[in-house]
Amino acid sequence: MNNNLKILSDTSKKSKSNDLCCVFSNGKLLVKKDGTTLVIPTFDNIKFLNIEYETEFFLGKIGEKSCFAIESTSELNLPINFNLMDLYDLGSLLDEQSFLISGRASQILNWDKTHRFCGKCGSKTENKKDEMAKICPNCNHIMYPVICPAIIVAVTKDDKILLAHNNGFKDNMYGLIAGFVEAGEDLNSAVKREIFEEIGIKVKNIEYYRSSPWPFPNSLMIGFFAEYESGQIKVDGSEIKQADWFTKDNFPNIPKKFTIARSLINEFSKRNQ
């Protein structure tokens, strides 16, 4: 994670006029055009735009700037230098810190919307005063923001990498094998299982690369390299439509630069120069 970004949870912190504000409306993020770049607006901007909201969540800091998340409860009538955009589309348009804090905002707001009632007794929940959590006033059940771990793997075979076309990918894009970690499963087992289930091959020498938050809606992507061991490619047909081995000189359409998938693919290319 970029050193200029500090993830913090302080439920007592209140916003100031020049603090950054990640505003979501109908699933889209509000951004401001500043010259040729897009930036996160400030609370001064929010006041100018007459945006109404109920709760603000402190997210952390970018440098010395505090950042908050809010969900708009009013219709937005935006001037030409403001726009609502899908967070995924902004991945390659915002700077790294702004995208990461906006992703955190999206996850927190999604958790807020989906945990307004207790999962144990059904009572209406309240925001906990001393930490980022919800508490049921009836049975005292505490609910923290949900994070779902998922593995993503660059499978290599000599100077080739396995790339797959998922049925959900647009523009004939090819990416890496990925999937959620099952309850009671360790990460290496998840890597082996997902690859075998989706592609039908076995791997060895699993190597941790790095992790990255993925706010669509609340995943933590844990990246690995793994070497081909045995088997023939046989796609599952339901999630993966096509898969093949590619060298760094004949890549198909691959994921965007802000994704951990692209980072793994770029690292593969460096290792095979």
Determine contact, residues 131/137, Cβ cutoff 8 Å: no
195 and 261, same domain (yes or no):
yes
Helix, coil or strand: residue 43:
helix
Mean pLDDT of the chain, nearest integer: 96
154 and 261, same domain (yes or no):
yes
Question: Which of the four pLDDT bands, split at 50, 70 and 90, describes residue 2?
Answer: low
Rounded mean pLDDT, 154-163: 98
43 and 56, same domain (yes or no):
yes
pLDDT in the model for residue 4: 86
185 and 245, same domain (yes or no):
yes
Cβ-based neighbours of 102, under 8 Å, separated by 6 or more: 22, 29, 40, 87, 90, 94, 215
The domain of 129 spans 116-145
pLDDT in the model for residue 3: 60
| Closest-CA residue to 265 (of 174, 136, 130, 142) | 174
Q: What tokens were used for 185?
A: 């499963």
H and E: helices and strands count for the chain: 5, 16
Rounded mean pLDDT, 104-114: 97
Reply yes or no on whether the pLDDT at 190 is more than 90. yes
pTM: predicted TM-score of the whole model, two decimal places: 0.93
181 and 140, same domain (yes or no):
no
161 and 78, same domain (yes or no):
no
Determine contact, residues 96/261, Cβ cutoff 8 Å: no
Q: What is the CATH number of the domain that holds 253?
A: 3.90.79.10
18 and 92, same domain (yes or no):
yes
89 and 164, same domain (yes or no):
no
